[in-house]
Amino acid sequence: MRGRSVGFVPTMGALHEGHMSLVKRSRHENDINVVSIFVNPTQFGPSEDLEKYPRDIAGDIRKLRETEVDILFLPEPQFIYPEGFSTSVTVNGISEKLCGRFRPGHFAGVATVVTKLLNIVRSTRAYFGQKDFQQTAVIKQMARDLNMDVQIVACPTVREQDGLAMSSRNVYLDKERRKAATVLFQTLHEASEMIRSGGKASAVRDAMARRLAGEPLITKVDYASLYDPGTLDEIGEMGGEVLVAGAIRLDETRLIDNVLVRP
Ligand code: AMP
């Protein structure tokens, strides 16, 4: 493959238009395109949804064929984690913020599997979604820290018509909860408007909390606030670009979303 660029999109399958936007971008920018589907057990906590995580290999293959992907990498768990596997990649600091506080070990699971996948595929570029802002930040940091010879490309979030960020997990939502789920993006959107019109961080935060508290089908708000997109620390005052991010639970279904705003 000398001289030819390779684009790689790692996924956990149940592919939707969000995934496919990454695949299309990769196709546009590279000569050879690789997609992986691997539901990585080490990034799920003991009480999380590994067993019931949506799987649709036949549908995924059809979509990848239609998009003319060259290679689908579909490893078995024992290929990725053979007996005796004993290494873990931990990205300190940013892995502990936001989702990291609620999903201990999650980002070490992600960083480890992405390291393995990148080492196996050895692509020129690898594509990740802004929807998982923290995940993309962790991977960028890791690639930098470990001198990985790959360009990490972040792609914008693809949404449903009503604003809900596309996610494989959206299929868990019944009709009522699917409708209620839009409150997350609405909250982020309203917060962005407040920021753009000069709102103070504390006022925006309070408005976000009130908006989410108004939706009775939300069983828990893990977090919803304003963060520095570089450090992922909560911000006290407006300065440069702001990451408005939230994670909520509707019963068992955990949804995350974020938008970047310039005050
Ligand atoms: P997953 O299969 O959920 O692990 O996602 C695989 C990749 O697709 C990750 O880089 C995600 O950030 C990205 N992705 C998932 N949903 C979306 C979306 N709605 N828009 C853009 N990228 C997405």
Tell me which of 19, 39, 56, 255 to substitute to probe ligand 1's pocket, judged by most ligand atoms within 8 Å of the beta carbon. 19
Model pTM score: 0.98
Tell me which of 34, 60, 63, 131 to substitute to probe ligand 1's pocket, judged by most ligand atoms within 8 Å of the beta carbon. 131
Is residue 125 within 8 A of residue 7, CB to CB? The reply is yes
Q: How does pLDDT run across 27-39, given as a tens digit for each residue?
A: 999 999 999 999 9
**Phi and psi at residue 78, to the nearest 5°:** -70, -15
Listed residue (140, 211, 151, 172) closest to 14, CA to CA: 172
Residues 148 and 142: their CA atoms lie apart, in Å, by: 8
Q: How does pLDDT run across 143-191, given as a tens digit for each residue?
A: 999 999 999 999 999 999 999 999 999 999 999 999 999 999 999 999 9
Q: How does pLDDT run across 221-254, given as a tens digit for each residue?
A: 999 999 999 999 999 999 899 999 999 999 999 9
Residue 51: strand, helix, or coil: coil
Residues 127 and 35: their CA atoms lie apart, in Å, by: 10
- Split at pLDDT 50, 70, 90, the class of 46 is very high
The confidence score (pLDDT) of residue 75 equals 98
Closest atom of ligand 1 to 21 CA is: 21
How far, in Å, from the CA of 127 to the mean position of ligand 1?
A: 9
The confidence score (pLDDT) of residue 1 equals 57
Q: How does pLDDT run across 178-229, given as a tens digit for each residue?
A: 999 999 999 999 999 999 999 999 999 999 999 999 999 999 999 999 999 9
The confidence score (pLDDT) of residue 211 equals 98
How far, in Å, from the CA of 199 to the mean position of ligand 1?
A: 31
Q: How does pLDDT run across 60-112, given as a tens digit for each residue?
A: 999 999 999 999 999 999 999 999 999 999 999 999 999 999 999 999 999 99
How far, in Å, from the CA of 146 to the mean position of ligand 1?
A: 23
Supply the angle between the helices 182-196 and 201-213 in degrees, to the nearest 10: 160
Q: Tally DSSP H helices, then E strands, for the chain.
A: 9, 8
- Ligand 1, residues at Cβ distance < 6 Å: 11-12, 18-19, 21-22, 128-129, 131-132, 155, 157-158, 165-168
